[in-house]
Amino acid sequence: MLDVARVRKDFPILDRIVNGRPLVYLDSAATSQKPQCVIDSITDYYSRYNSNIHRGIHSLGEEATAAYEGVREKVCNFIKATSAREVIFTRNTTEAVNLVASTYGRQHILAGDEILLTPLEHHSNLIPWQTLAKERDAKLVYCDVTEDGKVDVESVKRLINSRTRIVAVTLTSNVLGTIVPVAEICTIAHASGAVVFVDGAQAVPHLPVSVQDLQCDFLAFSMHKMLGPTGVGILWGKAEILEEMPPQMYGGNMINSVWRDRVILNQVPWRFEAGTPNIADVIASGVALDYLQALGMNNVRAHEKQLSQYALAQFSKIPGIKLYGPSTVEDRAGVFSFNLSGVHPHDVGQIVNEEGIAIRVGHHCCQPLMRDLDISGTARASFYVYTTEEEIDLLIGALDKARKVLGHVACR
Amino acid sequence: MLDVARVRKDFPILDRIVNGRPLVYLDSAATSQKPQCVIDSITDYYSRYNSNIHRGIHSLGEEATAAYEGVREKVCNFIKATSAREVIFTRNTTEAVNLVASTYGRQHILAGDEILLTPLEHHSNLIPWQTLAKERDAKLVYCDVTEDGKVDVESVKRLINSRTRIVAVTLTSNVLGTIVPVAEICTIAHASGAVVFVDGAQAVPHLPVSVQDLQCDFLAFSMHKMLGPTGVGILWGKAEILEEMPPQMYGGNMINSVWRDRVILNQVPWRFEAGTPNIADVIASGVALDYLQALGMNNVRAHEKQLSQYALAQFSKIPGIKLYGPSTVEDRAGVFSFNLSGVHPHDVGQIVNEEGIAIRVGHHCCQPLMRDLDISGTARASFYVYTTEEEIDLLIGALDKARKVLGHVACR
Amino acid sequence: MSLADELYRETILDHYHNPRNQGVLEGPSILSVEGVNPLCGDELILYLDVKDGKVEGISIKSRGCSINTASSSMMTEAVKGLPVERVEELIDAFKNMMLKGEQTAVPEEFEDLEALQGVKKYPVRIKCALLPWNTLIEALHSAASGETAKAISTE
Amino acid sequence: MSLADELYRETILDHYHNPRNQGVLEGPSILSVEGVNPLCGDELILYLDVKDGKVEGISIKSRGCSINTASSSMMTEAVKGLPVERVEELIDAFKNMMLKGEQTAVPEEFEDLEALQGVKKYPVRIKCALLPWNTLIEALHSAASGETAKAISTE
Ligand SMILES: Cc1ncc(COP(=O)(O)O)c(C=O)c1O
Ligand SMILES: Cc1ncc(COP(=O)(O)O)c(C=O)c1O
């Protein structure tokens, strides 16, 4: 298990005072906090070997290039991929989805084809496919979810057919916490010849994820949600698919030879990284991966499972609370969406912030899911390696206050 | 004028020892070094108020959002734009060009239309247009350059016609140092109804640049070349043009409302910033802009002019050197490309690196220009606010060594 | 000062729990405009009936937060029956109060609106308070130009 | 050790200043393959004449750096006249020497190649040394499959 007290010492922001109280950060699903070693690696890079990469023959350039390319190896190991050449650096998960939709998608989706999504998808893993479907006159198909927010695999089986080209599915819902049985879905999809794009933004930071086990075709995630800096996303794709994909952007670094009127492109993965990349943050991302690997992803998962168990028990005691998503910790991650009767999530967020507690409120970039649930939004508390049961207690206390200030109890 | 000794104290990397010698960094055109205040602002962000932006109601989210959006104002002031809503954050210059080529370009370029470029363009301001032209069966037209590397404005006048839709032009060449008379070109282009996209990657860091004076339609540049972190580029565009442009990417933050099958987009500029942006580095970019503004861009330019004058004099003394680009400092920036007879640029770079001197060698992402000049590459020394005449002297000395090791002099 | 003193004043809670002019207006001359706050997803539909240069009827359908709901409720109460010109003045006065930090003198008869002054200290909530007002501006434009339904955002 | 001792050894400088087998080969059975190092822009064209399983002729046209030129020159000298199988062994041995850090025993008759060992200490230059060899691999493939001109990169 994690030694959370020791972990917390690595995160300087946890000393922050907000509205007179120590920060209680329960918004890790939006972005995680960063350990000192990640912050230090950025300082170190800019203070010691900052240089543009790939093109340099001088020592700084060589050091920066080696460090940058070394992170590809680390990502490769982290997700159990077979080759670092399958790892592409993007800005975030969103860019990774758009990259695939605008290249692979445009290559393979024709009129009448189908793209299968779950109703749980984040806007980032929805609008690019919606836009592609519109452009190509293809069809977006949504599978079903059960009452408690699990993906109905039977509906996936029923809906996938020979016209299904792409299945875009999240591995963990950022609203309901649901862990989706992606390996199973991959088997079904592959049997029909569809490829599977997995949005791992909420999964890779919190669970051991192996692309070999999943057998997916693409995996995307964001380093800023897993202790890394903002500005780095990862797109992993099977080499044989990437090899056939055109680039999404053109410019420096992604070419072999250029003439006034034509160009010969560079190989994978560099073909997909035009221009000067976010060098410092890619290198710092490697440090974040090392940190997580040292904690052990199994331990990270065990810690969050334990917190989830505790949270489920505590939340259920609050009068008038509506908790969304699976009620068994095996099926869910440490992301809890809820509503208090008679209190709008905005007001919940504002009132708990007064106590130094940071939660997120609103639609969480999942408006279609909100419409399905017939709500305008939720309040959401999300956990990570530095989260404690005491922090959950503090939230519960603050929710009580919110009910008192605004709820029907206080209603004259 | 700049107090260079004082400026140098702000750059921790200048204490670096390379191959036993103090680092002489003459590769600022590739990427600049960073002052302590920029590095510190990243540490400060992650240690005090790291949070996802826009969607948060908690204090960290509010602080991060205000800081991030505040940088739009700073960029707006820096380039004398009229509204911060015209400022879009990208990853780099390359992404900014691709954004415009794939949105505005696809909207406006039809078969038979023409795009005018200069032969000086960096691959990033060339391949996106080349690709667009291919896709649309449009024509790429190149204006002429003079013997000493200046853009022949008469040829621009001659070549622009009613079919010219876009003129894509660099403000400063990253190979020859040429400062291109963009204001004049804008007048010519606008008279024919063409819009002008300006690649400011090598200009905005080194000269006072005002979009009002230039009267251009788009301006792109990279913060990593102007004391800022890697991972942030700026695209500025006239509001009335941006308003009509579709987004290049879809996802979180860039929408108003989403349904399963349709979407209403957000306003400019957010429409163009899908997903979690590079928050920390955008904020640090604001600090870089403040630092440059405190130095005064007129002083930055004056310093580089003086260095260029010195460099022109010193370089000309080297036997067998071929120096490219304008020979008058008014027409050029502090970027010097050269070749030593009988010594390949690679070998030049390697040998001066042995003395701790960092220069760049190769085609500098300008292969068509290399082909025009009938060379495979050049060695390039480039200056910035921390560069001194002593460093130029050290380079000159090292070049002498390169000639001795490899040049025809040493040839048996 | 506590949050309850500054933000959640009694007047606001009253309008939140008992919003005035809620629901759908129907009729041939009635115009509906959708307002959206893209950041939090708050949406509302404003129904407006302008006749002879006067706001004859107005109502709002929404599931907003306390500030949004209270602001909607107060706004509909304030503008109902007013000539369009007066409404526009009131909108200006309210927006100035919220955005400029001015202690604008709100006309006496609309003193409820002053309770929203506290929102100024919570910048993220200002948008909640403004959404109905911005939607009303849009609705008045549409009314003037004879347009129909439309969606706007407050960003 | 100085750069001149490690990298710019006499053998290398000799091949750089007087490269063997430079220029264009022409003829009906001759195959040309372009090799590119995308990072520095070094390009070369390799001309290959394979007859009866033997490298009958080989030449390279390039404007490379000292390492690239010397490596090209040594390679052409080494493989000319060899059976394709032997060439392939030699390519393997050379690539192992450059990439694996092994002190591979290069066959005695090709001892010039050993001078390139120093390049290993300068990782960015390894690509310069490998470009002709990777291009040769490509050319042999093309020869085997009866293809014509092609461009490859060493990235
Ligand atoms: C003139 C010019 N344009 C564009 C670029 C591309 O900038 P970036 O790599 O930051 O996208 C560069 C720098 O490499 C440049 O010098
Ligand atoms: C499930 C899911 N997918 C995609 C994203 C988008 O990530 P980013 O904003 O880093 O692109 C997020 C995070 O907001 C998410 O939770």
DSSP B272: G
In angstroms, the CA C89 to CA C105 distance is 12
Are residues A168 and A241 located together in one domain of the fold?
Answer: yes
pLDDT single digits (tens) B16-32? 999 999 999 999 999 99
Measured between alpha carbons, how far is residue A240 from residues A209, C1, D4, D89 in Å? 21, 63, 43, 28
Which residues of D lie closer than 8 Å to A, measured between beta carbons?
36, 38-41, 43, 123-125, 151, 153, 155
CA dist list (Å): D64 to A267, B253, D35, D132: 21, 49, 11, 10
pLDDT of residue B410: 41
What would the pLDDT profile of B378-389 be if each residue is shown by its tens digit? 999 999 999 999
Q: Domain check: are A401 and A323 in the same one? A: yes
Same domain, A285 and A315: no
Give yes or no for a contact between A234 and A220, defined as CB atoms under 8 angstroms apart: yes
Q: Is residue A44 part of a domain?
A: no
**CA-to-CA dists, residue A86 to A53, A81, A125, D38, angstroms:** 19, 8, 20, 19
Average the pLDDT over B302-316 and give the result. Answer: 98
Q: How confident is the model at residue B168 (pLDDT cuts 50, 70, 90)?
A: very high
Q: What is the pLDDT of residue A304?
A: 98
Mean pLDDT of A31-43: 98
Q: Å from D62 to nearest chain B CA?
A: 9
Radius of gyration of chain B (CA): 22
> How many whole angstroms separate alpha carbon B46 and alpha carbon B262?
36
Residues of A in contact with B232 (CB under 8 A): 231
Last residue of a domain, one of A293, A323, A352: A293
Residues A384, A258 share a domain: no
For residue A410, is it within any domain? no
Cα–Cα distance measured from residue B185 to residue B171, given in angstroms and rounded to the nearest whole number? 11
Q: In Å, how far is A158's CA from the nearest CA of chain D?
A: 45
Chain B CB within 8 Å of residue A39 CB: yes
**B411 located within any domain:** no
Main-chain phi, psi angles of B5, to 5 degrees: -60, -40
Q: pLDDT band for position D102 (50/70/90)?
A: low
SS3 B383: coil
Taking the centre of ligand 2 as the mean of its atom positions, its distance from the CA of residue A125, in whole angstroms, is: 8
Q: Write down which residue in B293, B317, B334 finishes a domain.
A: B293
Q: How confident is the model at residue B412 (pLDDT cuts 50, 70, 90)?
A: very low
Q: Give A256→chain D minimum CA distance, Å.
A: 4
Same domain, A306 and A400: yes
Q: Considering only CB atoms, which chain B residues are within 8 Å of C43?
A: 257
Q: How many Å lie between the alpha carbon of C63 and the closest alpha carbon of chain A?
A: 7
- Mean local confidence (pLDDT), C39-44: 78
Considering only CB atoms, A367 lies closest to which of C16, C17, C41, namely: C41
Same domain, B331 and B275: no
**Cβ within 8 Å of residue B411, ≥6 positions away:** B342, D13, D17
- Structure confidence at residue A3 as a pLDDT band (50, 70, 90): very high
- Residue A338 inside a domain? The answer is yes
- Give yes or no: residues B53 and B167 share one domain: yes
Structural domains in chain C, sorted by start = 3-148 (3.90.1010.10)
**Under an 8 A CB cutoff, do A251 and B224 touch?**
no
Interface membership of A350 toward C (CB under 8 Å): yes
Question: pTM here?
Answer: 0.95
Q: What is the 3-state secondary structure (H, E, C) of D122-145?
A: CHHHHHHHHHHHHHHHHHHHHHHH
Helix D84-99 vs helix D66-79: crossing angle, to nearest 10: 150
User: Which residues on chain A are in Cβ contact (under 8 Å) with B364?
Assistant: 55
Is B199 close to ligand 1, i.e. is its CB under 6 Å away?
yes
Residue B224 alpha carbon, nearest atom of ligand 1: 10
Ligand 1 in reach of B201 Cβ (< 6 A): yes
**Is there a single domain that holds both residue A163 and residue A265?**
yes
pLDDT score at B103? 98
| pLDDT band at residue A409 under the 50/70/90 scheme | very low
pLDDT of res. A362 = 92
Tell me what the pLDDT averaged over chain B comes to.
96
Size of interface A-D (CB pairs under 8 A): 32
Do B101 and B240 belong together in one domain? yes
Residue A37 lies in a domain: no
Atom number in ligand 2 closest to CA A95: 11
At residue B110, the pLDDT reads 97
Residues in chain A with CB shorter than 8 Å from the CB of D40 are: 55, 57
For the segment B144-156, the average pLDDT, to the nearest whole number, is 97
Query: How many C-beta atoms surround the C-beta of residue A328 within 10 A?
Result: 11
Does ligand 1 lie within 6 Å of residue B94's CB atom? yes
Read off the pLDDT band of D154 (50, 70, 90).
very low
The reported pLDDT for the residue numbered A157 is 98
Distance from the D42 Cα atom to the nearest Cα atom in chain A, whole angstroms: 10
Q: Name the catalytic one among A216, A365, A366, A411.
A: A365
Checking if the pLDDT of D3 tops 90, the result is: no
- Does residue A354 fall inside a structural domain? yes
Q: Which ligand is nearest to the CA of B172?
A: 1
Q: pLDDT tens digit string along B354-378?
A: 999 999 999 999 999 999 999 989 9
Domain boundary among B235, B270, B293: B293
The answer, yes or no, to whether the previous bond of A269 is cis (omega within 30 of 0) is: yes
Residues B275, B140, single domain; the answer is yes
Same domain, B192 and B281: yes
pLDDT cut 70: percent of chain D above it: 85
Sheet strands side by side (includes D150-153): D54-62, D42-51, D31-37, D150-153
Closest approach atom of ligand 1 to CA A276: 9
Q: Give residue B136's domain range.
A: 49-293
Of the pLDDT bands very low, low, confident and very high (cuts 50, 70, 90), residue C155 is very low
Most confidently modeled of A394-408, B82-96, C119-133?
B82-96
Q: Cβ(A248) to ligand 2 under 6 A?
A: no
Task: Summarize the confidence of residues D25-43 as an average pLDDT.
Answer: 84
pLDDT, residue B409, reads 44
Q: Any idea of the CA torsion for D145, D148, D151, D153, to the nearest 10 degrees?
A: 20
Q: Which residue has the tokens 């390697």?
A: B350
pLDDT tens-digit series, residues A204-241: 999 999 999 999 999 999 999 999 999 999 999 999 99
- If asked whether residues B212 and B304 sit together in one domain, one would say no
Mean pLDDT of the region B96-111: 98
**DSSP class of B183:** H
List of chain A residues whose C-beta atoms are within 8 Å of the C-beta of residue C69: 344
Per-residue model confidence as pLDDT tens digits over A90-134: 999 999 999 999 999 999 999 999 999 999 999 999 999 999 999
- CB count in 10 Å sphere of residue C94: 24
Question: Which of A157-171, A258-272, D139-153 is predicted with the least confidence, judged by mean pLDDT?
Answer: D139-153
Sheet holding C42-51, edge to edge: C54-62, C42-51, C31-37, C150-153
Question: For position D111, what pLDDT does the model report?
Answer: 77
Chain B residues with CB under 8 Å of C123 CB are: 62, 66
Q: Is the pLDDT of residue D103 over 70?
A: no
Residues of chain B with pLDDT > 70: what percent? 99
**Quick one: average pLDDT of B297-323?**
97
- Which tokens go with D66? 């000292």
Domain of residue B8, CATH code: 3.90.1150.10
Residues near A279 by beta carbon (within 8 Å), at least 6 away in sequence: A45, A50, A52, A53, A64, A68, B230, B231
**HEC sequence for B112-138:** CCEEEECCCCCHHHCHHHHHHHHHHCC
- The verdict on residue B44 lying in a domain is no
Residue C111: CB partners within 8 Å, gap ≥ 6? none
Q: Which of A350, A336, A365, A334 is nearest to A401 (CA)?
A: A350
Which one of C1, C3, C7 would you mutate to disrupt binding with A, by most A Cβ within 10 Å of its Cβ? Answer: C3
* Contact: A376, C17; criterion CB under 8 Å: no
DSSP C143: H
* Closest residue in B to D62 (Cα–Cα): B376
Residue A39 included in any domain: no
Contact B297, B140 (CB under 8 A): no
Here the CATH number for the domain that contains residue A133 is: 3.40.640.10
Its ipTM equals 0.93
pLDDT in tens, A162-206: 999 999 999 999 999 999 999 999 999 999 999 999 999 999 999
pLDDT in tens, A324-355: 999 999 999 999 999 999 899 999 999 999 99
Identify the pLDDT of residue C148.
54
pLDDT value, residue C105: 64
Task: Please provide residue A111's backbone torsions phi and psi, each rounded to the nearest 5 degrees.
Answer: -55, 135
Q: Give the other-Cβ count within 10 Å of B393's Cβ.
A: 13
Give the DSSP H/E element, type plus range, for residue A166: strand A164-170
Query: Do B62 and C124 make contact, defined as CB atoms within 8 angstroms?
Result: yes
Q: Is the C-beta atom of B28 inside 6 A of ligand 1?
A: no
Q: What is the DSSP letter of A279?
A: H
Distance CA A47, CA A52 (A): 14
SS3 A266: coil
Whether A110 and chain B come into contact, CB under 8 Å, resolves to: no
Residue whose Cα lies nearest atom 15 of ligand 1: it is B201
- Report whether pLDDT(A410) > 50: no
pLDDT band for position B406 (50/70/90)? confident
Give residue C154's pLDDT.
47
Is residue A365 part of the annotated active site? The answer reads yes
Position C113 pLDDT exceeds 90: no
Q: How many domains does chain A have?
A: 2
